[in-house]
Structure formats: structure tokens, C-alpha cells
Amino acid sequence: MTDAALRRSGIREVMDLAASLEGVVHLELGEPDFPTPRHVVEAVQQALEGGQVKYTLSRGEPELRELLAARLAAVDGISRGTDGVVVTPGGTAGVFAVLSALVRPGDAVLLPDPGWPAFEMIARLVSAEIRRYRLTADRNFEPDPDELDRLARGARVLVLNTPSNPTGAVFSPAAVESALQVALRHDLEVVSDEVYEQIVLDGSHTSATALDPDDRVTGVYSFSKDYAMTGWRVGYLSARREVVDAVVRVQEAVAACPSWPGQRAAVAALIGPQDVIGDMVDEYRRRRDLAVELLDRAGLLAARPRGAFYVLARVGGVETDTYAFARRLLEQERIAVAPGETFGPGGAGLVRLSLASPPDAIAAGVEALERVAAAATSGEDGRGG
């Protein structure tokens, strides 16, 4: 594969540029600004004093897998037991492992558009044919089952993501069920990214894994967002035994095993107080409401997000190249946002703002976004009329 065939995530490109500048307001990265819960840190510190930082089982430590199996059964109604769970070095590594296990070169993979950039990057790494299904504001950023049905012919895998990055959509039960029926008709494997499943701002989350009609869905989960544990790099998959075993073989080749400290942190997170999640979600909801009010007043709001912690803003009337718009916003105003086109063609004319930043940062970001958009409209940004 050539370098040109695997374009970097625009989120990381903006992040790298921002690192070279002073006084940047960061709205580009989906990283909670909350600290990892104190009881998690303390539990790992105590465990580290015992000096047991060693290799672990490639599928994850038994204690953690038992806790995860119990959680999946209690929260999502998924009864696969410990044999149906594998711990991964974060959600990204989980998506890579399962697509590596399921996809042969040339197999078609259906990806959401706009969708998380790593989906496309990983699909290219495994030499898949990429087929994008559009998510649009007029459909609440939910899949069109007729389009899915057309794209599914001869395909291998359908990737779903709800709550969604970057749209903030939370798919309705009917939307999830329709997508699963398409998968059933065309015998598709389904990879359901449910990393944001507990960050729901309006309504409730419907798990594709819980509605799985015949054990064809692999659920991908992470501790990064729910517990503000991005740097610990620990996630997990739920799948039928055949897929789990294949994922373990991939993991052995790529990472050997998930990290021991990350797994100790995950155990502490699961057995400790859970109100930390609700507290964070309440704050994200307040920030969402602020961002929606400010963007709507400026005429830039694309849609009201119902989950995750992102909001899309429209800049299409002033800028067709959202990478250029994001760079200009960063260089002129020291505001970092994610260019919409990094999420696929469906992100054209949009930028993504992360709500995992304080309210004053969000307010400053929207104000600067409006200012740069207005300057672009009037031709005052140096590009001419």
C-alpha cells in the first residue's frame, strides 16, 4: 500500500499543527477533559506496588472478562459468556482486529458517511473495497435501508456506529432493526461500534449486538469515553466464539496482549462507583445545549446531536475545502476543529466541534468560527472575492 492510499486522519493532522502553536483552544479531539476517576487511578497504583506488570493472556485476563460478560448480560442482554469476550488495546485496536479477522482482500465493507476516519483507514489496511452509505440531516443521520440494500449485494461486512461519531446521532430501534435485516438478507457480518453507548444526551441507545438475530454482530466497546480513560488503551469486543478466536490470533500478531495496567484500571472502573458516568453525561448535555444555541444563532448548526459529545457546524456556504478552513481557523484564531471531509465525502461543508472541552472553550470556538466564516463570505480572508 502506498502512503497516498492511506491518508491520515484530519483530526490528527489538526492536532499535530496545533501542537506547534501557542494558546490553542482544542475542539478537535474526542478526549474527555475530565480526569480518570480517582478510585481507578488509586487501584492501579496499589496494584503496581506489587510489581506484577507482566504479559497477560492475549484474550484478556479472566477476572476482567468475567466482569465484562456480566456487564453485557445485565446492561445489553447479551449472553455470550466469557468465551464471547476479548479485551483489546482500545476500541481502535478492536475494530482493526475484527476487520482483519473477517475481511479478505477485495471484500466489500459498508461504511457510514460521514463516519469515524479510522473505519476507512482500517478498511484500506485490510485491502477491502469501500462502499459508503450516506447519513444525512434530513434522515436524522440514520441509514437509508434501501440504500443499504443496494450496497449490500455481494458485500462482506456492514459497519454501524451509534451513538455516532461525528454526527451525534442515536439510531432509533427501527433504524437498527432495519440495518440488521439488510445484513440478514445479504448474509453480512456486522461490526457495531458502540463505544459511546453510555453517552446518550436524549432518548436511549439501542444496541445492535443486543438485537442480533443470529450471532452475526460483533460489538466494539471502550473504556476511553465512558470512564475518561483514553490513555489507558483498553477496550473489548463481544462476538461469537469463532470470531473471538480469530481476533485473538490477530491480536497475538499485532499487540501480543492488552496491557496489564489498562486491564487493572478497567476492573476498578467496573467494580467502582458508576455515578461518574452520569455526572459526565450531565455536563456534556449542558455543553451540547450551549453549542446548539450558539451555532443556531449564528446560522451554522447542522443538527442537534443526541449522543456522543460532538456537534457538526456548517461552513459549506463559505468554504468547500474544510481542511483549508480548519487550518485557517487554527492559524488565525487559535481554534482547533476537525475538518468535515476527514469523515468522508458526506462531511463536505462541515466541521466537527468536540464538546469534551469546557463551556468557555466551546463559546470561544463558535464565536471564532462565525468570525472566520463571515470573513470568508466577504472575501476578507485573503482568498479574494
Between 109 and 78, the more confident residue is: 109
Judged against a pLDDT cut of 70, whether residue 2 lies above it is answered with no
- The pLDDT confidence band at residue 378, using thresholds 50, 70 and 90, is low
What are the start and end residues of each CATH 3.90.1150.10 domain in the chain? 3-36+275-378
Grid cell for residue 46: 496499589
| Nearest residue to 83 (alpha-carbon basis) of 277, 240, 259, 279 | 240
Cβ atoms within 10 Å, residue 50: 7
Q: What is the pLDDT of residues 4-58, one digit of tens each?
A: 567 788 888 988 988 888 999 999 989 999 999 999 999 999 989 988 788 999 9
Average pLDDT over residues 204-209: 95
Q: What is the mean pLDDT of the chain?
A: 93
Average pLDDT over residues 222-249: 96
What pLDDT does residue 284 have?
98
What are the start and end residues of each CATH 3.40.640.10 domain in the chain? 38-271
Q: How many helices (H) and strands (E) does the chain have?
A: 12, 12
Report DSSP state, residue 348: T
> Do residues 91 and 118 make contact, with C-beta atoms less than 8 angstroms apart?
no
Q: What is the pLDDT of residues 302-318, one digit of tens each?
A: 999 999 999 999 997 65
Q: Rounded distance, CA 251 to CA 208, Å? A: 24
What pLDDT does residue 53 have?
85
The radius of gyration of the chain from alpha carbons, rounded to an integer in Å, stands at 21
Which residues touch 182 (CB under 8 Å, ≥6 apart)? 145, 148, 149, 152, 158, 188
Q: What is the pLDDT of residues 53-82, one digit of tens each?
A: 889 999 999 999 999 999 999 988 888 999
Q: Rounded distance, CA 347 to CA 349, Å? A: 6
Instruction: Please state the length of the chain.
Output: 385
Judged against a pLDDT cut of 90, whether residue 376 lies above it is answered with no
- Looking at the chain, the whole-number percentage of residues with pLDDT higher than 70 is 95
- The reply to whether the predicted model has a pTM over 0.85 is yes
Q: How far out from the chain centre does Cα 115 lie? A: 8
Q: What is the pLDDT of residues 353-368, one digit of tens each?
A: 999 999 999 999 999 9
CATH of domain 38-271: 3.40.640.10
- The pLDDT confidence band at residue 380, using thresholds 50, 70 and 90, is low
Q: What is the pLDDT of residues 279-309, one digit of tens each?
A: 999 999 999 999 999 999 999 999 999 999 9
Which residues touch 380 (CB under 8 Å, ≥6 apart)? none
Grid cell for residue 68: 465484562
Q: Rounded distance, CA 45 to CA 185, Å? A: 50
Cβ atoms within 10 Å, residue 77: 11
> Do residues 66 and 211 make contact, with C-beta atoms less than 8 angstroms apart?
no
Between 215 and 374, the more confident residue is: 215
What pLDDT does residue 9 have?
83
Judged against a pLDDT cut of 80, whether residue 119 lies above it is answered with yes
CATH of domain 3-36+275-378: 3.90.1150.10
Single-letter amino acid, residue 295: L
